[in-house]
Every structure is written in structure tokens, then in C-alpha cells.
């Protein structure tokens, strides 16, 4: 596959269903050797791209993905950034949206495509969705318009849709259309043609050098509200030693109970230096603090609005900012800003 064209793509296989085939000796699923990926997906030879691959050893089930893995992926991209035109990351679906969100914040001034994909069925199975996902992800990573990358963003490609990584969430454990971008239209859609929505794609300032941020602070927690929420639970979470940030998944447009003890506990946590980030538990829409009385009091207490951010992006953004800044004011200021197109 080498040197047929100048376009070169690096495939980074972290693990996940897409990279599995049946072992003829045992019948069980085992990871394939991505150096021989064209043996399993011979269609790739027709592209004529210069394809290279790196596989994690051992491979990671996506349930075991953590900030250490995000840093490893970012370092691979950083080290090989000048050698490749685009990057395709093969990843398990369960935490793919977390990884895509994290990378979007880590890779400042990104000017090349970083496309995450995976599959619901192993690539070694006849009915797999992995083959189409892989082929199209590579095609998108290699796509150029006017001599520049068509989509210089961290994206997820799955089942004929290319979505911004930090706008995407996993919606189904069963269907091939497993991912959904609730508050931002896909960047590209695939049918007979590959249609890019250029007005929605973020293009970097020219000649900006890639900066890779590798600091994360995992002293965060998520509290999902539910009717009958117990004060002991809230108290235990807000008084967790070292907890720097708390994401509250609220009802609707950012609403929460107006119990006096609840507001007092939140205010006490904020007054002691904690940050509370208000994110809706709905699958679409936005937090609008102050719209109703139930969120106005949270706003007065100093809770930060997450607007239309996804749960995955809220966690990774908060960990990224807490790792990057020691100043609470700077973290809060940055939470209110769109760093990588994650909020409208």
C-alpha cells in the first residue's frame, strides 16, 4: 500500500469489538494484527493511501479507558503529527464519546482529521458494520478540499454519520446507529455521496502549532437527580475529600429541587472552593438557568450552567480544566466558553 499516493493515514487500534476476528483454532474472538488489516478488508487496497497502524498491547476494552489512555493516544498523534495527513482511532463504543470529547480539548490548534470509529459487530463476522465504518472513516480522514483537510476536527464516524466528537453520545447498545449528536447537526452524511456540511465544520487558524494538553484532575463526581433524593447522599458527595468539581445532572432545562437543605449543601460546597456544573439529564436541549424558579436559586448560589453540553463532554472538560488550571476563577471562566465547539 505504500507510496501510491502522498496521502498517509495512521490507524490507531486501542481495542474494541471492531478489531476482533475468530481464532480458527479455538473459535473465540481475538484481536487482529492491524499490520495485515487489508487481508480482512481488501477494499482498503483500492484507496491507494499509505496506511500505517499502531496497536495497543495489550488492547483495551473501552470500559477500562481512562485519562492515561487518552494521554497515550494524544502522544501518538503528537509524535507522528507531521508524518500523516489524518488519523483514525479504532475504539470500543461504550466510552468512545468520552475519548473523543477528551481529545478535542487536549489537541489545541488541531489542523488534521482525527476520526474515531468502531463497530457493534466484530470485523471478522460476515454481517459486521465495522467494515463500512473503517473504510469510510479512512476516506474522511484522507479527504482534502482545496489542498487542506476537509474535516480538521476530532469526530466520530458511525453508521453513515460523521459527528463532532464532543457533541456525540452513545444512544444504543444494540442498533448499528449507536451514536447521536443531539444538539449539533452531523458534519457529514454518507449515502450515494459523501456530503460535507462545511458551514458546520470548525477550521483552525492557519499556521498555529499543535499544542497537546496532558493534564487531568479526576477529582470530579456526577450527581444525577431523581425524585426522593436523599440528603445523606448529597452530603456524602459534597464532603468527599479532595472533590474539586461536581456535575449535577438536572431535570429539563436545568431544574432541581428547591429544598432548603439541598441549596444550602450546594452553596456550602461552592463557598469552600468547589465548582458545580449544571448539565441536563435530557438527551437534547439546553440548560437555561433562571428560566424557572427551581434553577434561579442554583444560579444565585454560584452554580455554572453547562448549556447544551453532553454528559461526556462535561466530565472530560471539567477534568481537563481542573488539570490545566489551579485557579477556580479560571476554570469557571473556561467552563463558560466554547473551547472546541462543545457548546453553542
Longest CA–CA span in the chain (Å) reads 69
CA neighbours within 13 Å on the CB side: how many for 286? 13
Per the annotation, the verdict on 93 as an active-site residue is: no
d(CA 286, CA 5): 45
**Cα 166–chain centre separation:** 5
User: What stretches of the chain adopt beta strand conformation (E)?
Assistant: 8-13, 20-22, 29-31, 50-55, 86-90, 107-108, 114-117, 144-145, 148-149, 154-158, 161-164, 169-170, 179-180, 188-190, 194-196, 211-212, 220-224, 245-250, 275-280, 304-305
* 82 backbone dihedrals φ, ψ, rounded to 5°: -80, -15
Are 108 and 154 contacting, i.e. CB atoms less than 8 angstroms apart?
no
d(CA 183, CA 119): 23
Smallest CA-to-CA distance from 282 within 307, 261, 302 is with 307
The residue assigned the cell 482525527 is 114
The single residue of 17, 163, 168, 169 carrying the catalytic annotation is 17
Count of residues in the chain:
344
The residues carrying an active-site annotation are: 17
Amino acid at each position: 500500500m505504500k507510496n501510491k499516493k502522498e496521502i498517509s493515514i495512521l490507524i490507531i487500534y486501542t481495542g474494541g469489538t471492531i478489531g476482533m476476528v475468530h481464532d480458527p483454532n479455538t473459535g473465540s474472538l481475538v484481536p487482529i494484527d492491524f499490520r495485515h488489516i487489508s487481508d480482512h478488508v481488501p477494499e482498503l487496497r483500492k484507496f491507494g493511501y499509505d496506511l500505517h497502524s499502531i496497536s495497543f498491547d495489550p488492547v483495551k476494552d473501552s470500559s477500562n479507558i481512562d485519562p492515561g489512555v487518552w494521554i497515550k493516544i494524544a502522544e501518538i498523534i503528537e509524535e507522528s503529527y507531521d508524518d500523516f495527513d489524518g488519523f483514525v482511532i479504532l475504539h470500543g463504543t461504550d466510552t468512545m464519546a468520552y475519548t473523543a470529547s477528551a481529545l478535542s480539548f487536549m489537541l489545541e490548534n488541531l489542523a488534521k482529521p482525527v476520526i474515531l470509529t468502531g463497530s457493534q459487530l466484530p470485523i471478522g463476522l460476515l454481517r459486521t458494520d465495522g467494515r463500512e465504518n473503517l473504510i469510510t472513516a479512512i476516506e474522511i480522514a484522507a479527504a482534502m478540499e482545496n489542498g487542506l483537510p476537509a474535516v480538521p476536527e476530532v469526530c466520530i464516524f458511525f453508521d453513515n454519520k460523521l459527528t463532532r466528537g464532543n457533541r456525540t453520545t452513545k444512544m444504543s447498545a444494540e442498533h448499528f446507529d449507536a451514536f447521536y449528536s443531539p444538539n449539533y447537526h452531523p458534519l457529514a452524511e454518507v449515502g450515494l455521496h459523501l456530503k460535507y456540511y462545511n458551514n458546520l465544520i470548525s477550521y483552525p487558524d492557519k499556521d498555529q502549532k499543535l499544542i497537546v494538553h496532558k493534564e487531568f484532575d479526576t477529582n470530579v463526581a456526577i450527581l444525577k437527580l431523581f425524585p426522593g433524593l436523599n440528603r445523606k447522599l448529597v452530603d456524602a458527595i459534597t464532603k468527599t475529600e479532595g472533590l474539586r468539581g461536581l456535575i449535577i445532572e438536572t431535570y429539563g432545562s436545568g431544574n432541581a429541587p428547591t429544598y432548603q437543605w439541598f441549596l444550602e449543601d450546594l452553596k456550602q460546597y461552592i463557598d469552600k472552593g468547589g465548582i458545580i456544573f449544571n448539565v441536563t439529564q435530557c438527551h437534547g436541549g439546553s440548560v437555561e438557568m433562571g428560566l424557572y424558579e427551581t434553577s434561579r436559586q442554583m444560579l444565585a448560589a454560584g452554580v455554572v450552567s453547562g448549556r447544551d453540553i453532553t454528559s461526556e463532554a462535561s466530565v472530560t472538560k471539567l477534568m481537563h480544566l481542573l488539570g490545566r488550571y489551579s485557579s477556580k476563577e479560571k476554570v469557571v471562566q473556561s467552563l463558560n466558553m466554547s473551547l472546541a465547539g462543545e457548546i453553542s
